[in-house]
Amino acid sequence: MTYPNDFFILANQLIEAGRFIDSKGWVPATSGNFSARLSDDSIAITVSGTHKGCLQQSDIMLIDSDAQSLDGKKPSAEAVLHTTLYKRYPDINAILHPHSMTATLASQIFKTEVVLQDYELLKALPGIDTHEARIVVPIFANDQNIPRLAEQVDRYIDQHGAIHAYIIAGHGLYTWGDSVLHALRLLETLDFLLSCELHLYGVKKI
């Protein structure tokens, strides 16, 4: 197929994001998946089964807004988690899902949600202008049935209002932004804050 022009620009941004994310150790083996929305609402997304630290352009494919392949390649099994978020949030254009140890441990320790407050860095999240904000990152049970998992996320947002990110237990973080670079900054922010919470939990529990 002939890819739209912005596909190549976004694919390169996802490749660069993958290199950065891998340099932090957040995508061991072939874990993680990333996507970016094109101007025609189709979505560039990583194919299944590649190492995210050394993505090639051929490792990025195109799906439609219902997660159907547009170029015959096989998308990540979790593509529906991406399309569900794009449908709900018209303003976001990129979603990043790494498997960092921080998010994995946070889910095993905090079980249902992580509460973040009193951090200056919270101001890096959209719409937050003081460290006195209170941000909740919900944790959902892992599920190999992805449409069911997507519904669980959707229902949570219906009930609790907008969120900046969520964690799938024993699995990893999903976050999103208006561009790949923006989502990457939110990812740095959230991983830093989750890591702070894990350290403090150890000390407080002791």
Is 97 assigned to a binding site?
yes
Alpha-carbon distance 133 to 118, whole Å?
Answer: 7
Footprint of a copy of itself (CB under 8 A)? 28-31, 51, 99, 101, 104-105, 108-109, 118-121, 124, 129-131, 142, 144, 168-172, 185-186, 188-189, 191-192, 195-196, 198-203, 205-206
Which residue, 32 or 62, is less far from a copy of itself as judged by CB?
32
Alpha-carbon distance 40 to 198, whole Å?
Answer: 41
Is 99 assigned to a binding site?
yes
Alpha-carbon distance 153 to 138, whole Å?
Answer: 9
Which residue, 38 or 185, is less far from a copy of itself as judged by CB?
185
Question: What's the closest the beta carbon of residue 149 comes to a copy of itself, in angstroms?
Answer: 11
Which residue, 88 or 131, is less far from a copy of itself as judged by CB?
131
List strand residue ranges (DSSP E) for the chain, in order: 33-37, 43-46, 60-63, 94-97, 113-117, 134-140, 165-168, 172-177
Binding-site residue ranges for Zn(2+): 97, 99
